[in-house]
Each structure stands twice: as structure tokens, then as C-alpha cells.
């Protein structure tokens, strides 16, 4: 059968690649065409457009690039029409995907959605469009299924694919890893500043302002696969700062603490049982708009899933050197670490165990076959 998958950003690329592998196990004749990234490309199939060509953060950045976005939407529709898939699978990336889904449903294509748009965070009215345009929705967070139930929309909770991604990875040899990247033997503080240039620029300068305060720790920047070292280089002004690209899981597996930009990385860090401080800072206008339409108590997935503050969130003006140092000191403290480890284990249980990609692939295949 023919599958057309539309994903955006690094997390969509990761989950899309695992879904593609699972689809190919179930369907030996699978032909896959997709929008995604390097991981999906490595899984096999035809890459139409890389997510890094259309990664825009914040309301202002999106408005400034509307012309390019509309061209991409038009191109995607034409490409789907030419390929004529048996099913279209959308992965997160709601601003783009819901527009394609509306058109696709009108054209008679079968539409499946893996990893729900964050309608539970803002603009819940979009549920009406989802019910109209999406044949089947597979969600990866337990509270999202409960959210949709309030709108009488039956979705399937499949568990979180990060559990599989982390469980199935090759274990890193810490000694060789430290030797390869000249990390020495100091405890590591990992810096995860995000994947898009706008957010990296805003986050990394504040994170790195702490370096001189912790001479007994090694700071390591987790470079995003979508950005080259040349972009990070101007930020690195100390020998106590190292840079490692595209090895975030290996880095987290040997880190003592982490400063993490809000997003999927907060959950990844928690699943590696690394104490963290969650950080976020957007443009002033984007933040003011977001504050008025987002209805959540928290911004990190860790706190949202647990429905309480497990990790500290430093948002906008609270994200500054003094507050960051105070919170980093706390997560380096043994008592705080013990509490976090227990909360992290509880979090993992709530995510439903292994097999999310396989469950979703089977459901997609069976829905098309039927």
C-alpha cells in the first residue's frame, strides 16, 4: 500500500521514522513518500521536503514567512494528488497539517493523525475541524484521550513512542564517549537549547552565562541535527563548554543535570532520569499572544502529564541568570534529586509502556486494508 506521511521538526522526524519502520514490518509492499528529516530518510522512502526548510518559531516568525508557507501547502496538495496514497498520516505540526487534512478529506483521501495537535493547550475549537477531517486519531499522552472524550471524539491512546526510542537505542560506552569528545571526568550539565535558530539564540546565551559559576562541572551543548556547528560557535567562549551534535540521547545518558528548552526534550530528559530545569523565552509579542490563548497550568510535558509541578519551569522574564543558577543549585542537591527520580519513575508508568509505533502502524494498516 501507499503511505504519505507529513511530519515537522526533529521530534516528528524521530517518531515518523519509527512509524515507518513498523509499517514496513507489517506491510512488505509499503511505498512511503514523506515530509520529514534525516531519520525518516534513513528508514527508507522518498523525502519530499526536509523539516528544516520550514521551521518557524512564534507568531511573528510565522507571519513573516506566510508566503513560503502557502507555497508549501499548495505544493504538498499537488504532490499528494500525484502520488495518490491509500492513506495520509499526519504527525503533530498542526498549523500545516490541519490545512492539508481539510483539503485531503474533501478530495476523498483517508486521513489518520499520529500525535495530536495541541488543541488541549489552546484553541480547543479546532476539535470540530479534527472530527470533520480526520478518520482516526492516535494519541501518545493519556490526558489527551480524556480531553477528546469531552468532545465526544473517540481517539486511541497508543502509549508514548519515546519509551521505545530510548529502550531500543544502543548503550553508550561512557569512557569512550568522554574520550572522543574530550569531556574529561567532571560531572556533565547538558544544555538542550532547542532545534530552531530563533529559540537557540534566545536560550543558549542565558544558559551559558552560568559556566564560570560551576568550574567543577563540564557544560555540553546538545547540537540539533538541523543546525551546523558554525551556528553555535559564536556562543562558545569557554574551554569548559563542549559541543556534541546529534548525540543527545548518549549525552543525556551520562549527564548529572540538564537545562532544557520546553518541548519534547523535557520528556526525553525525564525518561533518562536526569534532573532538569525547563526554560522558555520567546519574542515579547509572541509571548503576549501565547499567554492570552494558552489555557494550561504548565508548559513542560513532564508537569502536564503528572498534573503537578515536578520540574521547575522558568518562563520569559523568569528565565534569567540569577533564577537559573538558583534552580540549577537545587537539582544538583541530593535531596531534590531523590524526589525527582521517584517522580520520573511514576511518569514513565503513566506513559503506557512500550510498543507505540507498532500499535499505531498496525491500526493504520488495518484501517486501510478494511
Residue-wise pLDDT tens digits, 267-278: 999 999 999 999
For the record, the C-alpha cell of 105 comes out as: 478529506
Overall residue count recorded for the chain in this entry: 370
The answer to whether the Cα torsion of 329, 332, 335, 337 is positive or negative is positive
The 3-state secondary structure of 115-155, one letter per residue: CCCCCCCECCCHHHHHHHHCCEEEECCHHHHHHHHCCCCCC
Per DSSP, 171 falls in state P
- Say what the pLDDT of residue 235 is: 93
Terminal CA-CA length for the chain: 12
Tens of pLDDT, residues 147-193: 999 999 999 999 999 998 898 889 999 999 999 999 999 999 999 99
For the record, the C-alpha cell of 276 comes out as: 532538569
Tens of pLDDT, residues 244-292: 999 999 999 999 999 999 988 999 999 999 999 999 987 666 555 555 5
Ranges of residues in the chain with a pLDDT under 50 are none
CA angle at 346 for the pair 342 and 347, rounded to the nearest 5°: 115
Distance CA 52, CA 47 (A): 13
- Say what the pLDDT of residue 286 is: 57
Name all domains of the chain by residue range, CATH numbers in brackets.
2-159+355-369 (3.40.50.2000), 167-350 (3.40.50.2000)
Percent with pLDDT over 70 in the chain:
93
- Say what the pLDDT of residue 7 is: 95
pTM, full prediction:
0.81
- Say what the pLDDT of residue 318 is: 94
Amino acid at each position: 500500500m501507499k503511505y504519505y506521511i507529513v511530519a515537522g521538526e526533529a521530534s516528528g522526524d524521530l517518531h515518523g521514522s519509527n512509524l515507518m519502520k513498523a509499517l514496513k514490518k507489517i506491510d512488505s509492499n509499503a511505498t512511503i513518500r514523506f515530509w520529514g528529516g534525516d531519520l525518516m530518510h534513513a528508514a527508507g522512502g522518498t523525502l519530499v521536503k526536509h523539516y528544516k526548510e520550514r521551521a518557524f518559531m512564534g507568531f511573528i516568525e510565522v507571519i513573516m514567512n506566510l508566503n513560503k508557507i502557502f507555497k508549501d501547502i499548495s505544493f504538498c496538495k499537488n504532490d499528494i494528488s500525484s502520488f495518490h496514497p491509500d492513506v495520509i498520516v499526519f504527525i503533530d505540526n498542526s498549523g500545516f497539517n490541519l490545512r492539508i487534512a481539510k483539503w485531503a478529506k474533501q478530495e476523498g483521501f483517508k486521513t489518520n493523525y499520529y500525535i495530536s495537535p495541541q488543541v488541549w493547550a489552546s484553541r480547543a475549537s479546532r476539535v470540530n475541524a479534527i472530527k470533520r477531517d480526520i478518520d482516526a486519531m492516535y494519541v501518545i499522552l493519556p490526558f489527551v484521550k480524556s480531553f477528546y472524550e469531552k468532545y465526544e471524539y473517540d481517539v486511541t491512546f497508543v502509549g508514548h513512542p519515546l519509551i521505545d526510542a530510548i529502550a531500543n537505542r544502543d548503550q553508550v560506552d561512557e569512557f569512550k564517549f568522554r574520550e572522543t569528545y574530550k569531556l574529561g571526568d567532571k560531572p556533565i550539565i547538558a544544555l538542550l537549547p532547542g532545534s530552531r535558530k530563533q529559540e537557540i539564540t534566545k536560550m543558549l546565551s542565558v544558559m551559558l552565562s552560568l559556566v564560570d559559576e560551576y568550574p567543577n562541572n563540564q557544560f555540553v551543548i546538545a547540537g540539533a541535527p538541523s543546525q551546523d556547528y558554525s551556528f553555535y560557535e559564536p556562543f562558545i567562549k569557554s574551554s569548559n563548554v563542549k559541543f556534541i551534535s546529534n548525540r543527545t540521547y548518549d549525552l543525556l545518558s551520562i549527564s548529572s543535570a540538564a537545562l532544557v528548552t520546553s518541548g519534547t526534550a523535557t520528556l526525553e530528559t525525564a525518561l533518562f532520569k536526569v534532573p532538569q530545569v525547563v526554560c522558555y523565552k520567546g519574542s515579547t509579542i509572541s509571548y503576549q499572544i501565547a499567554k492570552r490563548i494558552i489555557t494550561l497550568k504548565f508548559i513542560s510535558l513532564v508537569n502536564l502529564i503528572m498534573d503537578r509541578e515536578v520540574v521547575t519551569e522558568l518562563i520569559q522574564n523568569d528565565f534569567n541568570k540569577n533564577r537559573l543558577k538558583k534552580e540549577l543549585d537545587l537539582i544538583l542537591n541530593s535531596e531534590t534529586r531523590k524526589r525527582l527520580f521517584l517522580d520520573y519513575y511514576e511518569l514513565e508508568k503513566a506513559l503506557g509502556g512500550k510498543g507505540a509505533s507498532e500499535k499505531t502502524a498496525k491500526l493504520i494498516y488495518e484501517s486501510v486494508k478494511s
